[in-house]
Structure 1
Amino acid sequence: MKFKVLLFFLLQMWLICGQAAESPSVLSFAQEQEIAVLRAQLESIEKYQDQILSVVLWSLGAVIAMSLGLAAFNWFANKVSYERDIQAIKQETQAGVSVLEAQLKSEIGQETQKITSEIGAREESMKIAIIKELSKRIDAQTRVIDKQAKEILDLQFENVEREAEDSVAKKRYEWAIYKYCDLLNISVKQGSYSYQAGEILDKISQILDKPEVSLSSDNVTKAIETFSNLPPSHLTAAQNLIPKIKKAHGS
């Protein structure tokens, strides 16, 4: 467009200069033809410029269309790549979470097993300690009970022995033999029959040697049962008293 305006401006200047050189009223035939030629050239130039402008506009449109196409293709490719990246990241994240979850489960299982083992060991230690403590207490209580039982048996032995001796002194021989049989049973419970049983059997023998002694059936039965419970070391002496007991019974 600038070239067209410039050409038109030069043509006008040329016309003005020609008119100034010649007569302003009359133009020569040659000049008119030349002006006609110039006008035809100007029109050709204008058409040529329009064609060039059309080609430029069409090329510009093609370039813009190609640019838009490339931009759309890049956007689509980037979108697909972005989606693939997101999917890959999700898969990696899920895989990492699965691995971490497996590790956590394994560690939790190991810690649980360790704690269970420690608790079991502590419980076992506590059980052993409690059993030992209870055993000590039971042993202590057993010793106390045994001591009290021995004291009770000692008191019973003293009382029964006193009753037997009083019965002998009062010549209640049947009752005295009955009490001496009780003494034999107490001595067996005491575990001191190694010397006391022999003494008691001698006292019973001395009473049976008295001619006035008379025993009832219950007394005879009690004496024989008591003799059968004596240890083997005193059975012979006890068996020797049975004929005397039957004689005192009158059988």
Structure 2
Amino acid sequence: MNTEKLPTNDLKKYGIINEDNTFSKKLNADDILKFMQGYTIVVDNDKNRATFQLVENNSKLKVIFLERDKNLSEILENSKDKVEYSTIQELSKSGNQLNFEKKAFVFDKETNKIVEFDLIKNATELTAIIADKKDALEINRYKTELLKLKRFLQDKIEQFPEMAKEITNDLNIVSKEINTVNGISQNVSNSQKQEKSSIQLNVNDPDMYQDANRIREENQDEEQEREVGRSRGFRR
């Protein structure tokens, strides 16, 4: 790990290190270690997101400014009731970069925290979480977001031919998840139909209806016999 050639001026400019060259107190020891190993620091503020990454053997700071389609506060609030989706794109319009992310925000009841998932990087895990909900509406919403992402990636292959291989890999991941979601959706639909059929059977089952009529008729016959018996006793 090279720490001698750190771009201190840029790091100070964005508040990652202080004037005395110590790291910001907002970063814990684990954050700093990962940052020095090439991991990205992500900073969110309302609709804005900035990412910072050390590159070229820690001698250069790569900074990307992005903008999401919704305020972070709005996303976090909505995600308490349902899975919330958000799109993040790079602010610069350089034309030679493809920085686009589709995120899902899921409320974890066990930890009481909201967790962010990437629809590509965390595809398998996110699909499993959506499937566990067994909610047809949530599954359909998730599928809609995947289809939007698929169309976006298909368009970008033509716009960024130099990145066709990378984009195609992402497209394959999304297509696979769509197929998986289709199967999940079918299973949930069949399950709901079976439950509905079972309820209708309990209410309209002809055998149960006939049994009820037979019991009612038997009770009526017994009551008539008792009435006849009481009448005869009175005449005597």
Please identify which structure carries the higher strand content. 2
Task: Determine which structure has more spread, i.e. the larger CA radius of gyration.
Answer: 1
Please identify which structure carries the higher helix content. 1
TM-score normalised to structure 1 length: 0.31
